[in-house]
């Protein structure tokens, strides 16, 4: 089948550390595909699109919408492989990046080392200017800008971050400097007023530097991707932002920092959309385990949890993003023994090439995937991603070497140890987003996805006393599905400080009006956009704020009451102290509908095969079901394994699994 069609055909492509996932929506049908990720991610994207379109029997040029999530920016941060960046700041503030905050993660460690700044001191330049929150005291001299241009040329920089003191409130000097540099230099210039117009010098500087550091990589990648899409006849890509919404490619090329955690954000959105029928829960814990890492987040009251206080690779980033806790434990994470003889998992990963030992591509180090194969959770005849046949002998050899090093009794014992340590790492991540924030995980359902997530999810839930695990139909490519479900989203913020009881409500409402006008001028369909408002508030004397929803016209008393309730929920008390307004926030959303997933299954109740699998209770004869033919009318008691095209669900003893009407598998604690 080829040519254009009136039926909507949307494709979403998410690039992970090991695999590139594709979800293609054709009316009520969902076609999925996996291909190995490539060094130039756009090559894997094209391969995945061609594979999905071939499976669906359509030409790529008939696709009407293309959404994408990638790891380009976060990889640049994690691998310290970004641009050669310079920082331009106010005279006397050259060392803000190194001074940071008083908070120290290792307060009593005399040998602790702070992370190396992304911009070394020799590439930090000062400008003799001064602004306050109330206006400009010392304007920028044009001669100083010309001298700065000469210095930057001599430093041979690839990008520039400009962050002048109080530019969030009095931006004139920063605008002049940024405009002069953009006119004279052929490199991208990131200005803090445009990246993060908020007070707090360190966080604003750090976020602006991150934007400049990853911007050339994002600009080059998105440019190549757009060209490849055009060559295939695809529409221009829409890019997933860290805030959980998509936007056009040109916007992210100008605001590169918004793409950090692009892929994990898509996964959380996909999990929220695919598990939305679990209305009897307080919320959902989303658990995405891929090849390199695992990401955990929360969905409460149907809304994805977001934060403006993220720290990625030790770099504070203040732009809104989905609140994700990441641990370096994925299917490709390498197991090793530390100096004390303890078994550890990750953060080093075998990646896609050579990959785990069982891939048969030259890898020799034991990974979580090798352990799952030796334990019988994955069959030796399984084709991961449809292309990779597994070598069980290589997996056993790798784990035998690990067992010798750790003093364990053979490869099976080592595999069980690897499985338990990986689960413990991921359980800690779930506790960090639930228990440590005042939420009882037992009141939540667990939504498992990613290539390896459903294999570990039920055991993890069992250890946390979570009694329900949902594995959506497209669980192996749920981040790609989330790209099809994500709304178009834009955020705006402006600092507006003052005691809440004394602020002029009308002037604050004017700030929200200005933010609204800006956002509606940026979204693709202003008439369809929904704008929501929030305020950052705190008690007088506090150092940090809580964000609460507000309405227009702005009502200080109502905002104060919402803050008091939020503070009581978060910290257990209300204080008899004045409340301060800090920031005004607005978010514009153009809704998109999640593609419907038709139910699959309804085949024989008989398993496809039976194989031995190892659980905490011992080795058990375990039935293996084909997910596409899983029985629709009855629950299957564990132990059981349900194999799908992109992922495998492992149900241990004491649990049962059933097929839901939307094709999701639901595992629950057995009544027996």
CATH number at residue 176: 3.40.50
CA distance between the termini of the chain? 51
Domain boundary among 215, 250, 269: 215
Of the candidates 557, 588, 619, which is a domain's last residue? 588
Within a domain: 400: yes
- 161 within a domain of the structure (yes/no): yes
> Which DSSP category does 58 fall into?
-
Return the SS3 of 437.
Answer: helix
- Same domain assignment for residues 538 and 656: no
Q: Specify whether 103 is located in the same domain as 154.
A: yes
Domain boundary among 196, 215, 234: 215
236 found inside a domain? no
Classified as helix, coil or strand, 73 is helix
Q: Alpha-carbon distance 102 to 90, whole Å?
A: 21
Q: Which residues span the domain enclosing 146?
A: 82-215
For residue 6, is it within any domain? no
Q: Return the pLDDT at 604.
A: 66
Residue 189 lies in a domain: yes
- Is the residue at 620 inside a domain? yes
Whose structure tokens read 């999990």? 271
**281-316 confidence digits (pLDDT tens):** 678 999 988 777 888 999 987 888 899 988 888 899
- Determine the pLDDT at residue 4: 36
Phi, psi of 327 (to 5 degrees): -125, 145
Residue 249 contacts residue 256 (beta carbons within 8 Å) = no
Tell whether 87 and 171 lie within a shared domain.
Answer: yes
Computed from CA positions of residues 360, 288, 326, 195, in that sequence, does the dihedral angle turn out positive or negative?
Answer: positive
For the chain, which residues score pLDDT lower than 70? 1-7, 276-281, 352, 383-388, 596-604, 671-672
Cite the DSSP H helix spans in 93-247.
96-99, 142-155, 172-184, 192-195, 201-232
Helical pair 478-485 and 262-274, crossing angle rounded to 10 deg: 80
Number of structural domains (the chain) is: 4
Same domain, 90 and 163: yes
Position 5 scores a pLDDT of 41
| 359 part of a folded domain | yes
Contacts 24+ apart (CB under 8 A), 24-28: 24/52, 24/53, 24/56, 24/63, 25/484, 25/595, 26/56, 26/58, 28/596, 28/598
Helices 142-155, 172-184: inter-axial angle, 10-degree rounding: 50
Question: Do both 626 and 569 map to the same domain?
Answer: no
Q: What is the pLDDT of residue 384?
A: 60
In this predicted structure, what is the pLDDT of residue 115? 84
What contacts 71, CB < 8 A, 6 or more positions away? 15, 16, 17, 41, 262, 263
The vertex-559 CA angle with 193 and 511, nearest 5°, equals: 35
My answer on whether 205 and 122 are in the same domain is yes
Give the pLDDT of residue 64. Answer: 92
Do 581 and 615 have their domain in common?
Answer: no
**With contact defined as beta carbons under 8 Å apart, do 238 and 248 qualify?**
yes
Tell me if residue 537 falls in helix, strand or coil. strand
Q: Could you tell me if residue 525 is inside a domain? A: yes
Strands (E), 410-484: 444-449, 468-471
Q: Are residues 199 and 97 in the same domain?
A: yes
Q: Does 209 lie in the same domain as 113? A: yes
Query: Do 100 and 210 reside in the same domain of the chain?
Result: yes
* 631 shares a domain with 576: no
Q: Note whether 613 and 584 are same-domain residues.
A: no
Closest CA to 593 of 5, 21, 45, 27: 27
pTM score of the predicted model: 0.86
**Other beta carbons less than 10 A from residue 229's beta carbon:** 22
């Amino acid at each position: 089948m080829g040519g254009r069609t009136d039926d909507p055909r949307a494709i979403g492509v998410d690039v992970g550390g090991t695999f590139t996932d594709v979800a293609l929506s054709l009316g009520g049908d969902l076609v999925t595909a996996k291909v190995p990720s490539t060094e130039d991610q756009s090559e894997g994207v094209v391969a995945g699109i061609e594979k999905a379109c071939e499976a669906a029997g359509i030409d790529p040029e008939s696709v009407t919408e293309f959404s994408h999530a990638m790891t380009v920016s976060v990889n640049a941060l994690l691998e310290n492989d970004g641009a050669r960046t310079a920082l331009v700041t106010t005279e006397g503030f050259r060392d803000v990046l190194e001074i940071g905050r008083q908070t120290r993660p290792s307060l009593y460690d005399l040998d602790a080392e702070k992370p190396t700044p992304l911009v070394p001191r020799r590439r930090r330049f000062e400008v003799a200017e001064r602004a306050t929150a109330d206006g400009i005291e010392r304007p920028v001299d044009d001669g100083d800008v010309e001298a700065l241009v000469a210095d930057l040329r001599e430093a041979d920089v690839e990008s520039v971050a400009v962050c002048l003191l109080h530019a969030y409130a009095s931006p004139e000097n920063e605008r002049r400097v940024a405009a002069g540099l953009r006119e004279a230099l052929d490199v991208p210039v990131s200005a803090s007023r445009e990246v993060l117009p908020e007070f707090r010098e360190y966080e604003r500087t750090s976020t602006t530097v991150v934007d400049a550091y990853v911007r050339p990589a994002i600009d080059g990648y998105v440019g190549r991707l757009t060209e490849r899409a055009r060559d295939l006849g695809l529409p221009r890509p829409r890019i997933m932002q860290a805030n959980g919404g998509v936007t056009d490619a040109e916007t992210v090329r100008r605001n590169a920092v918004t793409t950090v955690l692009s892929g994990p954000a898509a996964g959380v959105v996909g999990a929220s959309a695919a598990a939305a029928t679990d209305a009897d829960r307080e919320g959902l814990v989303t658990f995405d385990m891929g090849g390199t890492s695992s990401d955990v987040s929360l969905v409460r009251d149907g809304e994805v949890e977001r934060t403006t206080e993220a720290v990625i690779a030790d770099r504070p980033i203040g732009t809104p993003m989905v609140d994700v806790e990441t641990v370096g434990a994925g299917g490709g994470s390498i197991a090793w023994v530390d100096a004390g003889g303890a078994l550890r998992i990750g953060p080093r990963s075998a990646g896609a090439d050579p990959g785990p030992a069982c891939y048969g591509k030259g890898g020799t180090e034991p990974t979580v995937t090798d352990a799952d194969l030796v334990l019988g959770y994955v069959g030796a005849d399984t084709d991961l991603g449809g292309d990779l046949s597994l070598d069980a002998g290589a997996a056993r050899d790798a784990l035998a070497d690990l067992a010798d090093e750790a003093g364990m009794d053979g490869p099976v014992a080592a595999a069980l140890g690897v499985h338990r340590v990986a689960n413990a790492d991921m359980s800690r991540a779930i506790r960090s987003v639930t228990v440590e924030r005042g939420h009882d995980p037992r009141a939540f359902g667990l939504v498992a996805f990613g290539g390896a997530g459903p294999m570990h999810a039920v055991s993890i839930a069992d250890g946390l006393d979570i009694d329900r695990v949902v594995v959506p139909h497209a669980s192996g490519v749920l981040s790609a599905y989330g790209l099809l479900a994500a709304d178009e989203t834009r955020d705006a913020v402006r600092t507006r400080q003052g005691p809440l009881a004394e602020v002029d409500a009308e002037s604050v409402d004017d700030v929200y009006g200005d933010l609204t006008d800006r956002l509606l001028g940026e979204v693709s369909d202003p008439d369809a956009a929904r704008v929501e408002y929030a305020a950052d508030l705190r008690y007088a004397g506090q150092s940090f704020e809580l964000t609460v929803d507000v309405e227009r016209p702005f009502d200080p008393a109502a905002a104060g009451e919402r803050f008091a309730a939020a503070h009581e929920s978060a910290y257990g008390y209300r204080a008899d102290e004045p409340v301060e307004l800090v920031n005004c926030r607005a978010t514009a959303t153009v809704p998109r509908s999640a593609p419907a997933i038709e139910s699959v299954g309804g085949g024989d109740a008989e398993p496809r095969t039976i194989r031995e699998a190892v659980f905490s209770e011992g080795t058990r004869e375990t039935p293996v079901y084909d997910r596409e033919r899983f029985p629709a009318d009855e629950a299957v008691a564990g132990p059981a394994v349900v194999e799908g095209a992109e992922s495998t669900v492992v149900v241990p003893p004491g649990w049962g699994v059933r097929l839901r009407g939307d094709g999701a598998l639901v595992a629950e604690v057995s009544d027996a």
